[in-house]
Structures are given as C-alpha cells and as structure tokens.
Amino acid sequence: MLTKTIPASQISMIVDDATADDSDKSITVTSRWRIQSIYVILATTATVGNRQLVVRILEGSDVVYQSAAGAVQAASGTVNYNFAEGNGRETSAVADALDVPLPSNLVVSPGQTIQVLDTAAVDAAADDMTVRVFAEVF
C-alpha cells in the first residue's frame, strides 16, 4: 500500500461558511482540491422532523458522488459531523459528534460543486449550518 504524507503547510481550511439560517450550502470549486475533511456543525430548530445530512459532489446538476451520515438528527440539537477519509460510518452520534467516510484521494475539479445539505429540508430557512472544508489546493 502506497501512502503519501502531505505536509501540513499544504493543507488549509479553504472554506469557512457560518452563514446563519440555512441547511443547504454549495461551494463552487475554482481550482483542484484534494479534500482532507469536511467539518459540519448543524444546529436544528424546534421544528419537528429528522434531518439527514449529506455531502455531494456535483457536475452541473448531476450528482457524481454522495456520502450520507449514518444517522439522522432530530429537532432542537447540535451535531458536529466529520466527513473524512478513513472514517467508519457511525450510526449514532457520540458526544454530539458523528464520523462519516469519504473516499481516499477525493479530488474535486474546477467547476464542480461541493454541496452540504439536509436532504429532508425540515426547516431549511431556520436551521443553522457551518461548513469548513480542509483541502490540499493544487
């Protein structure tokens, strides 16, 4: 097995979107990004319903990759999601954290979009989502 170690100086947080009152974020990539992790904080309102968090890679409007969290999130709570290579698919949050796998060497090309969303869209205009993407840019 070949392992490549990337110096920490080449990996940076390239997106930090904490815009309030939404549960669907799209980031259009302008250069090649090798995704190291996508960290998401979802704070839900009291509106009843289970949220299902998903990360998608889109080519135009076509989904070319999707990874869904292994558990849903209920109303009135905050969960920290860590989408990263090597993670197992957890089926419940532990200490309000949930790990979700991404494939190794996930490269997103210019023009493609990273979308993070609650596919159930329970309270899309009021739930609060923060998305932080860590990647190697090349």
For residue 123, being part of any structural domain is answered with yes
For residue 31, being part of any structural domain is answered with yes
Range of the domain at 42: 12-129
Quote the mean pLDDT of the chain: 91
Assign 1 a pLDDT band (cuts: 50, 70, 90). Answer: very low
Q: What's the angle, vertex CA 66, arms to CA 81 and CA 23, rounded to 5?
A: 50
30-44 residues labelled b (16+ CB within 10 A) or e (exposed): eeebbbbbbbbebbb
**Total structural domains within the chain:** 1
For residue 108, being part of any structural domain is answered with yes
Q: How far apart are CA 103 and CA 107, in angstroms?
A: 10
Q: How far apart are CA 77 and CA 138, in angstroms?
A: 37
What is this structure's pTM? Answer: 0.89
Assign 4 a pLDDT band (cuts: 50, 70, 90). Answer: very low
For residue 135, being part of any structural domain is answered with no
How confident is the model over 56-104, as pLDDT tens digits?
999 999 999 999 999 999 999 999 999 999 999 999 999 999 999 999 9
For residue 67, being part of any structural domain is answered with yes
For residue 89, being part of any structural domain is answered with yes
For residue 134, being part of any structural domain is answered with no
Instruction: Give the bridge partners for 80, in sequence order.
Output: 41, 97
> How many CA atoms within 13 Å lie on the side-chain side of 60?
1
Cα-based distances in Å from 74 to 23, 45, 51, 137: 14, 9, 6, 35
For residue 85, being part of any structural domain is answered with yes
How confident is the model over 12-29, as pLDDT tens digits?
778 888 888 899 999 999
Q: Which residue, chain included where needed, has tokens 């980031």?
A: 27
Residue 3, pLDDT score = 47
CA-based max dimension of the chain: 47
